[in-house]
Amino acid sequence: MKRLARTLAAALLLTPLGVIAADAYPSKPLRMVITFPAGGPSDVVVRLISQRLTDQWGYPVIIDNRGGAGGIVGTEIVARATPDGYTFLVGTAGGMTINPALRSDLSYDPFRDFSPVGMLVVNPQILVAHPTLAAKNIKELVALAKQKPGQLNFASAGTGTATHLGLELLKLTAGIDVVHVPYKGGAPAVTDLIGGQVQLLWVSIPSVLPHVKAARLRALAVSTAKRTSSAPDVPTVAESGYPGFEYSNWNALFAPAGTPQPQVRKINAQVVAALSDPAVAQRLTAQGADPAPGTPEELGKYMRTDHERWKKVIRTAGIKPQ
């Protein structure tokens, strides 16, 4: 017995502390900071995942909605949080790749101050047009825009938003000149598009799909590299003649920099398992979100690609923060 006790004690001494901590982790509730008010698309995603984590570990996941300043408020909170594996950020393209490319006054650096945990979902965008526009697909739109440079217009939910930058990316990719008409939010932009005050809009699929089905709007393309199950009949921009075109809104999980990697890996494994559950995937798809489970390394690589994409678009278009 003494020999066994000595052997166990020696094994514990040789076991890295991070492994021991990971085995005992979590031992209290986790906190997930969402950078938008309650009830939005990010909420739906996170509450589904959080419930799975609670069921698995028996500790509640506290959802902390910290909206404001286009996601900056909540992002700053997590950047300053203790890196103990109990505080996480539900990051978005806006907060983690667009704002850092657009603004020089941020108090956080997404690559220095955060540790990627894993992608949650991508939210494909859909390019919709008023039915009177003489274009039924991307090729016809580009041809029309080149015939009438500066005469077509597109709405957005505001300067520097994904709805704005998506069309700027298309302008850069296809070499067209289309005039930007910014709105204070997506809802009024959709309303005016249906009314014919504007002609084009990149927007989330659920917000306009009923209007597309009712022929009040025409769908031209989706923004992702592959077609989405939310609108399987709508082609991608890439397959419409512009290979390499891709962008989306997305939600991903981040921890403060310095969070122990065993804890990051443990959370990642549970998130991947939840996203791979057909029941969870079905509910997410119904919200217009495509599950995108992956590794921390894959998220880090995707972030850098996304950041470089928006830096180029913002610099070329001369976009300034509003």
| Distance in angstroms between the alpha carbons of the first and the last residue of the chain | 72
For residue 201, what is the enclosing H or E element? strand 200-204
Q: What is the pLDDT of residue 77?
A: 95
Considering the domain 125-240 in this protein, what is its CATH number?
Answer: 3.40.190.10
* pTM, two decimal places: 0.87
Residue 23 has pLDDT above 80, yes or no: no
Tens of pLDDT, residues 134-151: 999 999 999 999 999 999
**How far lies 254's CA from each of 31, 53, 55, 72, 130, in Å?**
12, 16, 21, 14, 38
pLDDT-based confidence at 9, cuts 50/70/90? very low
Tens of pLDDT, residues 77-98: 999 999 999 999 999 999 999 9
Q: Which of 21-35, 245-259, 261-275 has the lowest mean pLDDT?
A: 21-35
Whether CATH 3.30.450.40 fits 15-123+248-317: no
Tens of pLDDT, residues 93-129: 999 999 999 998 999 999 999 999 999 999 999 999 9
Q: What is the pLDDT of residue 32?
A: 95
All CATH 3.40.190.150 domain ranges of the chain, comma separated, are 15-123+248-317
DSSP alpha helices (H): ranges in 58-176? 72-79, 93, 99-102, 138-147, 162-174
Q: What is the pLDDT of residue 22?
A: 53
Residue 269 has pLDDT above 80, yes or no: yes
Contacts of 169 (CB under 8 A, 6+ apart): 245, 247, 309, 313
Strand 125-129 versus strand 218-222 pairing type: antiparallel
Q: What is the pLDDT of residue 2?
A: 46
Residue 49 has pLDDT above 70, yes or no: yes
Residue 12 has pLDDT above 70, yes or no: no
With CA atoms as reference, report the closest residue to 153 among 182, 180, 130.
Answer: 180
Residue 4 has pLDDT above 60, yes or no: no
- Percent of the chain at pLDDT above 70? 93
Tens of pLDDT, residues 297-308: 999 999 999 999
All CATH 3.40.190.10 domain ranges of the chain, comma separated, are 125-240
Place of tokens 């393309």: 221
